[in-house]
Amino acid sequence: MSSNFHPSDYHDLLSSAQWNENLRDLNQYVAHSLEQVGEPPALNGNLFYEHRATGFQTQPFIERFEPKRRNFFDLARRSTCLFEIGVNAGHSMLLALMANPELKCVGVDVCQRLNRRWARVDIYVPAAFNWLRYKFPDRVELIKGNSLIEAPAYALRHPDAKIDFLHLDGAKDTHLREVLALHALMPSGAFIVHDDSNLRPVRIADRQLRRLNFSKPIDYSEFSLTDCEFHLVRAAT
Q: Is the pLDDT of residue 208 over 50?
A: yes
- Of the candidates 148, 149, 178, 146, the one whose C-alpha atom is nearest the C-alpha of residue 163 is 178
In tens, the pLDDT along 147-175 reads: 999 999 999 999 999 999 999 999 999 99
**What is the pLDDT, as a whole number, of residue 1?**
45
Helix (H) or strand (E) holding 165: strand 165-168
Do 169 and 88 form a contact (C-beta atoms < 8 A)? yes
Percentage of the chain exceeding pLDDT 90? 95
Do 208 and 176 form a contact (C-beta atoms < 8 A)? yes
- Of the candidates 74, 166, 88, the one whose C-alpha atom is nearest the C-alpha of residue 132 is 88
In tens, the pLDDT along 43-62 reads: 999 999 999 988 999 999 99
- Of the candidates 95, 107, 96, 88, the one whose C-alpha atom is nearest the C-alpha of residue 46 is 88
Just give the CATH number of 10-236: 3.40.50.150
**What is the pLDDT, as a whole number, of residue 3?**
59
Residue 229 exposed, middle or buried by CB count within 10 Å (0-12, 13-18, 19+): exposed
Sequence ranges of the domains in the chain: 10-236
Alpha carbons 110 and 114: distance in angstroms, whole number: 9
- Of the candidates 114, 176, 119, 116, the one whose C-alpha atom is nearest the C-alpha of residue 146 is 114
**What is the pLDDT, as a whole number, of residue 131?**
98
Q: How many CB atoms lie within 10 A of CB 159?
A: 8
- What integer best gives the mean pLDDT of the chain? 96
Specify the pTM: 0.96
In tens, the pLDDT along 28-48 reads: 999 999 999 999 999 999 999
CA dihedral 157, 161, 162, 167 (to 10 degrees): -30
Q: Is the pLDDT of residue 2 over 50?
A: no
Instruction: Taking residues 181-203, report their average pLDDT.
Output: 97
In tens, the pLDDT along 128-139 reads: 999 999 999 999
**What is the pLDDT, as a whole number, of residue 8?**
95
How far is Cα of residue 133 from the mean position of the Cα atoms in its chain? Answer: 15
Q: Is the pLDDT of residue 95 over 70?
A: yes
Q: Is the pLDDT of residue 200 over 90?
A: yes
